[in-house]
Structure 1
Amino acid sequence: MKNIHFILIAAFGLLTTVDLKAQGIFKNTTRSIPASELQISDQMTTNLIFSNAIKSVDRGNRNILVQKATAVENILQVKAENSGLQNSNLTVITEDGGFYSFAVEYQKVPNNLNLKIQRAEQAELANFEKTVYMDSELAETARKVSMKSRSMPAIRERRFLTGIALTGIYIEKDLLYFQLRLENQTNIPYDIEQFRLFIRDSKQSKRSASQELEQTPMLVYGDAARIPAQSTQTLVVVLPKFTIPDQKHLKIELMEEKGGRHLQIKVKNRHLMNAMQVD
């Protein structure tokens, strides 16, 4: 009888051990990834220099202004829209899978304006299928698009004799090409401070949080720095293919440096559905 009792106790202990080990196998684990501190100002531009080309950018607050530096793919320029910016965050993913998180705060005079961002040896990597595109190939296709005549009813805005118009959307090899016409009928050159594309809610309650998804161009073909006086020019913006969810739109925004001639247009999903093949 004692032997039977001992065997039952041993068997119960073994089952308990197996059950605990089984629970351990299926138990999820999490690890906190710290964010780097980033100070930005509405009077100065902070430059983030990455080792690889920037693939995507997400802002926690729409008052954080971001753009890639003209003609380069690895420098992100960051600025506050105004001094009322509340603490927020910024997330950047580079084409090598680098994941970078920043805790953003307003500082009239930031401690550092130019930051070289290097990935830690054990940093987290973003997993995505990587397709390699040659810059020369993108530029040649963008050149073809820039030479085409208008292929759709223009979506435009004009203010103070300046304007922006979307005149064509094309697709090739899973890339979208947006043909934009910029005009300046005044004698005052239009210096571009911010050129941004982002998906946002069509209707937004004042109480709801800002929901914007920045669209970072793979290439901007043309002069995205200035619209000379009395001129019209073409920009072609290249983006990885995407569609726009219901109740949202793509906003294309042009902001003048030290000026008030800000321009913006809204692109809906039905416009993307009419994208044409590049011949």
Structure 2
Amino acid sequence: MKTIIKYMLLCLLTVNTVTAQNNTKSINLSNAEVTPYEIELTHNKTTHILLPSSIEYVDLGSSEIIANKVEATSNVLRLKTVKEDISSTNFTVITNDGKYYSFNATYKEQPIQLSYDLTKFDKQNSKQQSEVLFKNLGNTSPSLVDLFMKAIIKKNKKELNIKSKNYGVEARLKSIYIQDGKLYFHISINNKSNLPYTVDYVSFKIKDRRTSKRMTIQEMSLKPIRSYSDYQTINSQSKQDNVFMFDQFTLSDKQVLLIEVIEKSGIRNQVLKIKGTIILKSKQIRKIHFELR
């Protein structure tokens, strides 16, 4: 009997030892590596990188290199070294579409190349490109948000009859969609006049509906989390569509959402008024048929 108990204890000890060894075994992360781009920098010349989307974050591995966005753009990064012959280092860039870029930087007095266009390379490797999640987008990846917006514009269905028109320019709220706690507003601007129409900005405000002249009007501005694109100059007899994304919100019976489209250096401003009942009827994006590519 004692022999049997000793044998069982020996077996139990062996199992615990093997389990402990398995638990302490390290995991090889080689398959999770983000392949870096190789880039040469110098002190007396500036290197520029053109990225497919707006730059959100830059982290430099050394204080011996400097980097900043070109002021007139949002997707061009310029770099140079603070002195000659620096040690090899690295830097990381995250763009608005959630893409993650890693670079290995080495010093060379006369680099072979000073300008890099990653928009060409990114199209060829989009499926292998690493992607990050932004807090303000929740659990939806930036690329999926972009796909949702493209699908809404491609569907191009006038589900709502909310519009503003004057001086030959029409602004229309075509549809409102909801997905993962985010609202998507599809707005179209149609320039039927003979003059180009340049949008200065589009504002979104929650405002109290006036019930009496003595009542104080209160309003609250809403800032989109992101939009599909920036409005450009809309040529004569042409139109542009855009989609604006917001955190989910609702309105009381005494409130209204005002969407104002303001013309730059002009008077052809448009105002759209949306009641809370319209927002409550927002449709699910999953009902749109689109392809994941």
TM-score normalized by structure 2? 0.49
Mapped contact 1:184–1:190 kept (Cα < 8 A): yes
Structure number with the higher helix fraction is 2
Query: Secondary structure at 1:251's aligned position in 2?
Result: strand
Q: Residue 175 and residue 130 in structure 1: after superposition, are their counterparts in 2 closer, same or farther (change >3 A)?
A: closer
Query: Could you tell me which residue of structure 1 aligns to residue 151 of structure 2?
Result: 144
Query: Could you tell me which residue of structure 2 aligns to residue 200 of structure 1?
Result: 207
Q: Residue 205 and residue 226 in structure 1: after superposition, are their counterparts in 2 closer, same or farther (change >3 A)?
A: farther
Query: Could you tell me which residue of structure 2 aligns to residue 212 of structure 1?
Result: 219
User: CA offsets, 1:86-107, max 9 Å, x none?
Assistant: xxxxxxxxxxxxxxxxxxxxxx
Q: Residue 203 and residue 238 in structure 1: after superposition, are their counterparts in 2 closer, same or farther (change >3 A)?
A: same
Query: Could you tell me which residue of structure 1 aligns to residue 181 of structure 2?
Result: 174
Query: Could you tell me which residue of structure 2 aligns to residue 263 of structure 1?
Result: 270
User: CA offsets, 1:19-55, max 9 Å, x none?
Assistant: xxxxxxxxxxxxxxxxxxxxxxxxxxxxxxxx99xxx
Query: Secondary structure at 1:147's aligned position in 2?
Result: helix
Instruction: Tell which deviates more after alignment, 137-146 or 162-171.
Output: 137-146
Q: What is the identity, as a one-letter code, of the residue corresponding to 1:203? A: R
C-alpha displacement at 1:253, in angstroms? 0.2
Q: What is the identity, as a one-letter code, of the residue corresponding to 2:154? A: M
C-alpha displacement at 1:133, in angstroms? 4.6
Mapped contact 1:195–1:224 kept (Cα < 8 A): no
Question: How far apart, in 1, do the equivalents of 2:243 and 2:210 lie?
Answer: 28
Task: Give 1:152-167 correspondences, 5 Å limit.
Answer: 152-167=159-174
Question: 1:186 and 2:193 equivalent?
Answer: yes
Q: What is the identity, as a one-letter code, of the residue corresponding to 2:273? A: K
Q: Residue 274 and residue 223 in structure 1: after superposition, are their counterparts in 2 closer, same or farther (change >3 A)?
A: same
Q: Residue 167 and residue 183 in structure 1: after superposition, are their counterparts in 2 closer, same or farther (change >3 A)?
A: same
Question: 1:232 and 2:239 equivalent?
Answer: yes
Query: Could you tell me which of 273, 277, 281 is aligned with 1:274?
Result: 281
If asked which structure has higher relative contact order (CA below 8 Å, sep 6+), I would say 1
C-alpha displacement at 1:157, in angstroms? 0.8
User: CA offsets, 1:144-194, max 9 Å, x none?
Assistant: 111113252320011011010111111111111111111001221111112
Query: Secondary structure at 2:277's aligned position in 1?
Result: helix
C-alpha displacement at 1:222, in angstroms? 3.1
Q: Extract unaligned runs of 5+ from structure 2.
A: 1-55, 58-71, 75-134, 289-293
Mapped contact 2:164–2:172 kept (Cα < 8 A): yes
C-alpha displacement at 1:218, in angstroms? 1.0
Question: How far apart, in 2, do the equivalents of 1:276 and 1:217 lie?
Answer: 19
Question: How far apart, in 2, do the equivalents of 1:172 and 1:179 lie?
Answer: 14
Question: How far apart, in 2, do the equivalents of 1:217 and 1:228 lie?
Answer: 25
TM-score normalized by structure 1? 0.51
Q: Extract unaligned runs of 5+ from structure 1.
A: 1-50, 53-69, 73-127
Query: Percent identity between the aligned chains?
Result: 26
Query: Could you tell me which residue of structure 1 aligns to residue 248 of structure 2?
Result: 241
Q: Residue 202 and residue 188 in structure 1: after superposition, are their counterparts in 2 closer, same or farther (change >3 A)?
A: same
Aligned residues: 157
Query: Secondary structure at 2:147's aligned position in 1?
Result: helix
Q: Residue 151 and residue 187 in structure 1: after superposition, are their counterparts in 2 closer, same or farther (change >3 A)?
A: closer
Mapped contact 1:138–1:219 kept (Cα < 8 A): no
